Structure 1
Amino acid sequence: MTTSTPSPPAISRVDDDAAIRPVLAEVVRSGFVEGHHRGSLVVLAADGSVELAFGDPAAPVFPRSANKPMQAVAVLRAGLDLSGERLALAAASHSGEDFHLDLVRTMLDEFGLAEGDLRTPPDLPLDPVEAEEYLASGRVRDRVTMNCSGKHAAMIAASAANGWPVDSYLDPAHPLQQLVLGAVEEASGERVAHIGTDGCGAPLMSLSLVGLARAFRHFVLAAPGTPERRVADAMRAHPEYVAGTRRPDTWLMRELPGALSKMGAEAVQAVALPDGRALAFKIDDGALRALGPVLARALELMGVDAPVLDRIRDVPLFGGGERVGEIRAAF
């Protein structure tokens, strides 16, 4: 449905057709709403109850890289001793900045591994600015440059340390991936309904958005020293290694003390606050440009008031090199 008015719909808006997700974000150009991004969203109260829901947050989705904290828990449970920046990088979708790539290579050396051991597909840096500079320097797609390389380095190292097959560490039946499955189900409080293959080649466990929010809540409330708390603390202490210097996850964890934040491909986002409040959402069409405005609005509805929200929500549209509109939340 297209409307010429720039005013967002009221928060109580519900689609007549239950099969169609509600509009979470609008594309506004020159005062004209030219498009919509639909999706589902859930907010959990501090006690874990559902406080706000749009769309169908009980339906299974692939959280994509929002599952990485659970994958990092699995390598800790497998006995791999990681901490600090290294543990943050094991849970990262890194931007491919030089400090990310340097630490991945350092980790491989420390584990006695080679870059060729990685099963990540060769890729460019995830950050567009970094990708341009990378190509301008004459470099080509590389396995280390792929944003999941830190996670894969940790997975291979954990497998090697336990005497598990290294060449099949991405098989869903592999002992490490069974640990991942257990970590996902334990943190979310629900059974995994579907297992697919993520963009990096790793097994991908589905969850509902409610389960995903519950998992992030579990991480921030976990007892100190537990694998979940160790992962959460490493991510929050070193957010640049989880994402990058120009990424909303980094900004949020750096500027909102105690917040745990992780995005996933196809426009998935999960956040937990230190008091146990949490949110998760997915944009149906996978448009990453809608993440910031929706995330900022959801946090506002949770009572968060911080300057970082203005930075996260600002997604401009340009015409002729000038700003002529924006992507904005519509709930």
Structure 2
Amino acid sequence: MTVVAEVVRSGFVESVHHGVVAFSDRPGVGDTVSPIFPRSSNKPLQAVGMLRSGLVPREVADLAMAGASHDGEPFHVDRVRAMLAAAGLGPEALRCPADLPLGETARYAYLRAGGEPEPILMNCSGKHAAMLATCVANGWDLESYLDPKHPLQVALAETISDLAGEPIAAAGVDGCGAPVLAISPVALARAFLRLVEAAPGTPERRVADAMRAHPELVAGPASEDTILMRAVPGLLVKRGADGVTAAALPGAGGVAVKISDGAIRARVPVLLSALRKLGVEPPVLEEPILGGGRQVGEVRAVW
């Protein structure tokens, strides 16, 4: 496996991170064809599957929330609640686990107010609300909507395979309880490019347009996804757990990153480096390594 990032502290390389960088239309780095679980980077593809299955979002912003890993800010939670209400449901219909807000600022504020974990606060609750709304639109059972054999999950698996251009290699259970489907990194990059380059009005383009129009819903104000989509017009970005992220820009290409050891801090420097190789100049997002309150090192891409 190829080294794609290293952590340098006070001039000493203290650790290295191995990983894969796949491009949609050019040679990548590392093993780009063996399957991985994209985790939440699958969400935009699942949102396409919901539209294909008859989901009618109340607003464009609701479609952005369907593909989100939100921070749990009050405006995120209010929107998920409204999505459920529009489908005639309440938060009790959610089958994602109870959790605290993902975003640090939202989490601290919630705990200071005496809050406790709730399913609607879980970062995947927007996806689950959209899944439930799709079931309501089709008259499908609501209790079992996370079962891999449920009509909803069958349809989403077919959509992901179609967008990826390859069969699903394996199915697992994601942290939110929904099925997570394995595809190759190059297929993930290809699927993201298909979304941003699809014709206007298609399910693929509607998802890409919604997420790019409402990046603050996709993650949170301080997230790399939000910052990158605000800074680079037309760019679609979606992070996932375990060191995964994917991005695409029409006319430039698609890219998928998987850090093998799941390191989150290596993910952003490698993604930014990959975007530069596509001819995209992203904003500076690398977080410095601090010691005693001052910068003593950095994480840098070396692939």
* Fold conserved between structures, TM > 0.5: yes
Please point out which of 105, 109, 114 is paired with 1:129. Answer: 105
Equivalent positions of 1:1-331 (< 5 A) are 21-44=1-24, 49=25, 51-82=26-57, 83-275=59-251, 277-306=253-282, 308=283, 310=284, 312=285, 314-331=286-303
In 2, the alpha carbon distance for the partners of 1:290 and 1:98 equals 29
Deviation readout 1:168-223 (Å, 9 max, x if unpaired): 00011111111101110111100001000000000111010010001001101111
The DSSP-based 3-state class of the residue aligned with 1:61 is coil
Deviation readout 1:42-82 (Å, 9 max, x if unpaired): 123xxxx3x23111010100000010011111221221211
TM-score, with normalisation over the residues of structure 1? 0.89
In 2, the alpha carbon distance for the partners of 1:147 and 1:111 equals 20
TM-score, with normalisation over the residues of structure 2? 0.97
Measured after TM superposition, the shift of residue 134 of structure 1 is: 1.5
Measured after TM superposition, the shift of residue 244 of structure 1 is: 0.9
Deviation readout 1:66-115 (Å, 9 max, x if unpaired): 10011111221221211411000011000111110111111111111111
5+ residue gaps, structure 1, are 1-20
Measured after TM superposition, the shift of residue 276 of structure 1 is: 5.2
Measured after TM superposition, the shift of residue 305 of structure 1 is: 2.3
Deviation readout 1:308-328 (Å, 9 max, x if unpaired): 1x1x2x221121222211211
Percent identical residues: 53
8 A contact 2:49–2:160 mirrored in 1:
no
What RMSD in Å do the two structures reach over aligned CA positions?
1.1
Amino acid at match of 1:74: G
The DSSP-based 3-state class of the residue aligned with 1:173 is coil
The DSSP-based 3-state class of the residue aligned with 1:52 is coil
Specify the structure having the higher radius of gyration (Cα). Answer: 1
The DSSP-based 3-state class of the residue aligned with 2:233 is coil
8 A contact 1:181–1:205 mirrored in 2:
yes
In 2, the alpha carbon distance for the partners of 1:276 and 1:198 equals 31
More moved, 264-273 vs 102-111: 102-111
5+ residue gaps, structure 2, are none
8 A contact 1:217–1:276 mirrored in 2:
no
The DSSP-based 3-state class of the residue aligned with 1:204 is strand
8 A contact 1:221–1:276 mirrored in 2:
no
The DSSP-based 3-state class of the residue aligned with 2:296 is strand
The DSSP-based 3-state class of the residue aligned with 2:28 is strand
Deviation readout 1:1-50 (Å, 9 max, x if unpaired): xxxxxxxxxxxxxxxxxxxx111111111111100111011123xxxx3x
Measured after TM superposition, the shift of residue 296 of structure 1 is: 0.9
Amino acid at match of 1:294: V
The DSSP-based 3-state class of the residue aligned with 2:18 is strand
Measured after TM superposition, the shift of residue 302 of structure 1 is: 1.4
In 1, the alpha carbon distance for the partners of 2:289 and 2:132 equals 42
In 1, the alpha carbon distance for the partners of 2:149 and 2:182 equals 16
8 A contact 1:220–1:276 mirrored in 2:
no
In 1, the alpha carbon distance for the partners of 2:98 and 2:33 equals 35
Amino acid at match of 1:316: P
